Amino acid sequence: MGVISPIGLTLEENWLSLCTGQSGVGRITRFDPSPFPSHIAAEVKGFEAEKFVSPKDLRKMDRFIPFAIAAAQEALADAQLVIDDVLQERTGVIIGSGMGGMETLQNTIGAFLREGPRRISPFFVPSTVVNMAAGWISILYGLKGPNLAVSTACTAGTHAIGEGYYIIQRGDADVMIAGGTDAMIIPIAHGGFCAARVLSRRNEEPEKASRPFDKQRDGFVMGEGAGVLILEELTHAQSRGARIYGEIVGFGMSSDAYHITSAPPDGAGAVRCMQAALRSARLKPEQVDYINAHGTSTELNDVTETRAIKTVFGAHAYRLKVSSTKSMTGHLLGAAGAVEAIYTLLALHHQIVPPTINYEYPDPDCDLDYVPNKAQPCKVEVALSNSFGFGGTNATIAFQRFSDGAGR
């Protein structure tokens, strides 16, 4: 697994930040945010794209692409996966993104309006289209299996992992490099979310702005980054002695069919999605120990997700650990689901549940165990990771701790 996020540039840095409850939120530095009502975001800090991509190739890429390449490079190293000529044919790539190269789009439109067509780069289109993160990873490593992208707003990373899982199940690949990436901390995107009144305005205390399930939450905080996982068919992984962080045992999808940006108050779409993942995994609700929640820190999402969890799990909902790592990373949009899937697998692997930081004022409508403020050692055998996106699109992955021999 590999992660580039506002709380770390490696898997190890991310896990340390999660366990110590570090916030990656601060005042925006990539542009002057003062004209906007929200001045804060969770930026990736210290990222040097030149370490992963040649200067010549970087000129052809929007920021979301080197994020994905860096995460993929770390994931391949972490997996100790040697891709020979045979495996090249049996390895594919699927990377999700919410909107792809929006920064390049914004800058190119500005240059075009100022100076005309001659300022449009020949690399404009391949810098911006969503599938180029997957395309570049495939090109750099010579991967000739399935190659595709998913663009389903904030669910894109989770959908990419789920679809990669299905591709391996079908026998179309032995290995899938799967994940999500986004780099949307730019004036036009920030302004759009400000206009929609969904961003936190806690400008004086940025590190406390993302506060899922807390009574004083006032909106989400935009983040950026990438998460990439190496998905591998089980016998293939065992034959090479691979370290296995966990098994994907189920995947569920649904649509709210309700509203372009809001979920139904009863969370019915999320209910169907989690139930579908449990059916796919042949798991009973009481077997689940932990849920990495979508948990955006918006007034409506946190209540509806809580209701959905209580509908699916009944009395067991109050015995679950439920946390939102967006409290630390902000909302990574199309990358969120992939990064949060990695965090969920790390919880399984280390038997430690990451916290929901900034949980200070309980909301009577959000009354579950959100692992407030401090990571907790906990027995975790089965975990879910939830993602819900604009357009009413929902996805849930079910992970199980791997045990040699019996599998699951």
Q: Give the DSSP H or E segment for 295.
A: none
Q: How far apart are the C-alpha atoms of 110 and 113, rounded to whole Å?
A: 5
Q: How far apart are the C-alpha atoms of 270 and 257, rounded to whole Å?
A: 12
**Catalytic one among 39, 154, 190, 194?**
154
Q: How far apart are the C-alpha atoms of 294 and 385, rounded to whole Å?
A: 8
For residue 131 the two structure tokens come to 């599938």
For residue 57 the two structure tokens come to 């190739």
Residues in the chain: 408
349 has catalytic annotation:
no
**Catalytic one among 39, 159, 294, 366?**
294
236 has catalytic annotation:
no
159 has catalytic annotation:
no
Q: How far apart are the C-alpha atoms of 142 and 147, rounded to whole Å?
A: 11
Beta pairing class for 376-377 and 91-96: unpaired
Q: How far apart are the C-alpha atoms of 252 and 174, rounded to whole Å?
A: 21
Q: Give the DSSP H or E segment for 352.
A: strand 352-353
The alpha-helical segments, DSSP class H, found in 251-351 are: 268-281, 299-313, 326-329, 336-350
**Catalytic one among 39, 159, 190, 331?**
331
Q: How far apart are the C-alpha atoms of 381 and 403, rounded to whole Å?
A: 10
User: What single letter denotes the amino acid at residue 129?
Assistant: V
Q: How far apart are the C-alpha atoms of 323 and 364, rounded to whole Å?
A: 17
DSSP summary character for residue 167: H
User: What positions carry a catalytic annotation?
Assistant: 154, 294, 331
